[in-house]
Every structure is written in C-alpha cells, then in structure tokens.
Amino acid sequence: MSNSLILSIDTPTTPPAWALLERELIRAQTKACERIFDRYFDDLGYLKCLPRWGGNDGSDDAIENLAGWPVLHALGAPDSILEMYKLGWEGHILQYTEAKTVEVELARDGMLYKEFPVSLDWFHHGESLSVFNLQGLSDPHDHAFMTRVRRYAGFYMDEDPQAKNYDPEHKIIRSLFNGSRGPLLRKATALDWAGDPFEAEGRFDAAHGERNFDEMLAHFEEYTDVVGDHPINLAATTLALNAYMATGDSKYKDWLLEYIDAWAQRAAQNNGILPSNIGLNGEIGGETDGKWYGGCYGWGFTVTVPQTGELSDRNALYRGIAGFGNALLMTGDRSYVDIWRKMLDAVNANAKTVDGKTLYPQMYGDDGWYGYAETPYNQGAPDVYYWSMDKADRKFLPPSEWLDFLDGERPNFPVATMEQEFESIRDKMQGVDEDTNSRDTRLSDNTLKFNTANTSCLTQLMLGALTPRYGEPLHARLRYFDPENRRAGIPDDVAALVEGMTDTTTTLSLVNVNPVEGRRLIVQAGAYSEHQVTEAEFNGDVVTPDRPFFTVSLAPGSGGRLVIKHQRYANQPTLSHPWDRI
C-alpha cells in the first residue's frame, strides 16, 4: 500500500474494441463539429439564420446548436472544439443583442440585454444555458466567463435593479417569464411567445410543425398564466452554483439553499407534490384561483395542437429537478433527493387498474388525476437513482441498457452504443450535404438536428455520468485531466470505461492504445471534485489519496481495471482543476 497519489499500470494489453472505438468516436465527433461550424456559423460566430424572438426559434436555439460541445472538450476533444464554442457564444450574444422586435414589447431594444435573454421562461433559458453552464469544466478562469457567472446569478439574487426577478420576502421568482429586464407581471400573449409576424409559409421550415405564422400564434394561445413562481424556475439555481464554484463566495450558496428550501417546504405543504404555481403573495396557487396545479407548464396544462385539434399534455415540472441536484452538490445532504422521491411516490400512488392493466397518472386538473399511461410517472427518476444509488429508487425507472451494463449484463453495450453513434454521425453529415437552405430561409432551430456532439454515449461510458440537460451541471462519477498539457480531458491515446458503480465504489478500466509512448492522467472523483477518493486499487497495488483525485501512470500499450473507493458528496464543489489545488 502506498500513500502516494500515483498508481502505475504496466500490464501489456491488446487494445479492446471499445477502447479503439472510443478514441475514434472523439475524433469523428470533432471532425463533424468542425464541418458543422464552418457551414453554419460565420467569422463573427453568428449563426447563419434569420434571428427571431420567441419560444419556437429564438436565441436559445441558436446557441443550442453547440449543445454538448463544452462537454465534448472536457472529455478530451481538441481545443478547436472549445475555441469554436467560445466564438459561437460571443457571436450569438452580439447577434441577438443587435436583433430587435417590432411588435413584441419585451425585446424592442434587443433580444438579449446584458448578454442574457431579456425575459423568457426557464424551459428556454435552460436550453441556451446548457452550453454556457458547462464552459467552466474546461475554462474556469476565462475572464468573460467569470464576469458573466456573477452577473447572471445576480439577476436572480435581487442584485440588479433592472432585474427584480426575486422576491426575498416570499422567496419566489416572481414570474415564469424572467431575465435581464426582470419578470413579466401580466398575462403573456401568444405574440410574447411566438415573436413578430414573419413570412413563414413557403419560405421556412418551422421545426415545430406549424405551417404558417397564424399556427405559430395558435400554438401559444393558451400559454397565458405566467405570473408567479413555478418549479421550472428552480433551474435558475445553476447560475448560483456556477458562481459559487467559480468564486467560492458563500452568498451564492446561501441564496441557492434559501430558494430550494422554500420549494421543499411548499412540496411538504402540498402532500409531497411540488405545486405548479406560487402567487406573488407566496401562497400556493396564488395566481391561479388557488389551484396548486394551475399555470403554464403546470400539472393541469393541457393545450390544443393547432394543426390537428388534438389535446397535448405539457407538464414541464421536470425541468426544475436541477435545483435539488444543485443543493445536493452544495451540501452533500441527500434529504434533497428525498423531495423528488416523495413526489414520484405521491403521484404514482394514484394509479388505477383498467382491464387488468395498471395505469399511472401524469397530470392533475379540476377533476383530479388524468393523463393515465402504462408507464409510471418517472420524470426525474433517473436523477433520483443516480444521486442515491439506492436500488429501491429504480422502481419507476424506464428500461436502461446502460444501467443493465453497470449491473454486469449486456457486456456488448459499450461497443453497440458507440457503433450507433457512428451511424448517427453519418446520417447527420448526409443531412448537411443535402441541406439547400440559405441564410435568409433558415431558422435557428433548423440546424439542431445536425449537431453531432451527442455526448450521452461518451459521458455514460467514460464518466459514469448523467447527460446534462436544460441548463443542469454535469453529474459525473469521474473526470479526467491531462497533466502534461494542463487541460481538462483524457490525454491522447487513453481510453476509459466505467464498468460498475455503487454508492461507495467505481470500477474503471483504463487503456493506453499507444504501444510506443506512455501516458499519465489525473482521475478526479466527481465533475467538480465533490467526491473524496479514499482508495484506488489495481492488481493489489493500492494508493490512499484521501483527496478528490489521484494520478495514473500508463506504460506503453498497457491497461487494466481499477477499483476506486470514495465518499460521495463529501467536498464542496469547485471549478478549479487539480493542479490549482495541490
């Protein structure tokens, strides 16, 4: 046993198929991303599209074209990925600050203000910030990033007099519509959501299926009840988490926990279920005639699809689960997981049996529970299980080949899922080749389908991680750093596969596919050093780091399986890289 931080692996190995595919997949995704950026972004980083305001094809979709790129770089892709992302981020800020509406009053002076959307919902804020919120994985000391994380968090902490989003007395974000110009404290109109009228039919391909602008307006006709707080606003806490991890300033942690704890209390008062409207007076259902299930994107939010006349259930509470994961990262207190767990139990307790089948509700309205389906209400169930690693929390989970693999089943899963990714890249590149749109006939969401940085496969296999969505941080069991090049990501020629996870252990296979040169890498427990490594073992050689990371030395052409023991959520999260903390 050694108290050093270095574990040496010198067992010769022929590179397994998964290792070769992993290295090639990182390369292929990088090449595809470079081609996409060159085709659809100009030299200023502007997306080559008609910039519009609204919930269909706004600034959030423009930057969402680069979703997954910061994570791809943090996995080990070349610096070109980070450079393109940063150019695209700066470009979209300029492009949509310059872009103004005529009829929509919210954005007449610019769709972005202070480099942030002026006022929209966290369904869409979360999509745009799914890119920015992950920049700190690779580039935590960038001056612009540091400035923005403080400014963005300040919009929700009552620090900006033009952005009175937060009411510290009632501990609410005052509207579903919020941003750098503050909350919308009236009913929203279809125009607020859809943006200015424009020549849609015949010129553009509306990705949401509407055939003309009238149908775009009709899409949002019922999206009116936005005043008051909604669980979807919990996603705003990621801004405070980012600011805390970047600066260490406790005010961000204090605000985050204040707001999350207020929502925990509301769930407790509502039979364990997060209500979907909190009034400006702090009362449950205060802006929806006392109905806890009211409001846009709420438990009772069922709307008419304009093209078909059919009804569509659009309960979007699940996008607020980020808040409870953020509180867990901040505190290590797993009672925050229990809040969502109790809600899953409470909703599914209303199941009924019809013709011998058990049906579970997904919605709640004036007549009680409705929207029954054979699948349990499972929004957020994967997060709950991942955070707890309690097998009892798998009862509502949908089938998962990844979890089967971690259980020792489906041994071919890594190879099979990566092969699917190569097929996806080929299909998307064919779509790029066949795309005949021009800049003036392209909407910001038309190109989302071509994004090849689908990191779900690699985050699962390499990091043992959940795929970040809707502005969430990265919840990962492990991360890697290249000490020679002083950058985030696994070094060239090294492949990693998380083969098993329990609450206290992670099983990791590492391979150096280079038979000529050795490699070193730093293995960190947690995306943000939130876990503490107590022991790492390979072939009887044991190191006891008692810190969040350790170094592995891989001889040329070597590989092996490590068993890492750890305490999860034992440390305060930080964006600092390991060499900044030695």
- Output the tens digit of pLDDT for each of the chain's 582 residues: 444 689 999 999 999 999 999 999 999 999 999 999 999 999 999 999 999 999 989 999 999 999 999 999 999 999 999 999 999 999 999 999 999 999 999 999 999 999 999 999 999 999 999 999 999 999 999 999 999 999 999 999 999 999 999 999 999 999 999 999 999 999 999 999 999 999 988 898 876 778 889 999 999 999 999 999 999 999 999 999 999 999 999 999 999 999 999 999 999 999 999 999 999 999 999 999 999 999 999 999 999 998 889 999 999 999 999 999 999 999 999 999 999 999 999 999 999 999 999 999 999 999 999 999 999 999 999 999 999 999 999 999 999 999 999 999 999 999 999 999 999 999 999 999 999 999 999 999 999 999 999 778 999 999 999 999 888 999 999 999 999 999 999 999 999 999 999 999 999 999 999 999 999 999 999 999 999 999 999 999 999 999 999 999 999 999 999 999 999 999 999 999 999 987
Instruction: Give yes or no for a contact between 208 and 218, defined as CB atoms under 8 angstroms apart.
Output: no
CA–CA distance, 139 with 145 (Å, rounded to integer): 8
In a domain, 491, yes or no: yes
* CA count, 13 A, side-chain hemisphere, 158: 13
In a domain, 84, yes or no: no
Position 64, amino acid: E
Spatial CB neighbours of 235, under 8 Å, sequence gap ≥ 6: 122, 125, 126, 319, 320, 322, 323, 470, 471, 472
173, β-bridge pairs: 166
In a domain, 309, yes or no: no
Instruction: Give yes or no for a contact between 163 and 182, defined as CB atoms under 8 angstroms apart.
Output: yes
Residue 497: which CATH number?
2.60.40.1180
Instruction: Give yes or no for a contact between 181 and 162, defined as CB atoms under 8 angstroms apart.
Output: yes
Instruction: Give yes or no for a contact between 162 and 149, defined as CB atoms under 8 angstroms apart.
Output: no
In a domain, 156, yes or no: no
Quote the tokens at residue 213: 């602008």
Q: Tell me how many domains the chain contains.
A: 1
In a domain, 541, yes or no: yes
In a domain, 466, yes or no: yes
In a domain, 171, yes or no: no
Q: What angle do CA 126, 132, 137 make, to 5 degrees?
A: 120
pTM: 0.96
Q: Is 84 helix (H, G, I), strand (E, B) or coil?
A: helix
Note down the domain range covering 532: 460-580
In a domain, 520, yes or no: yes
CA–CA distance, 144 with 85 (Å, rounded to integer): 14
H or E element in which residue 348 lies: helix 335-348
H or E element in which residue 11 lies: none
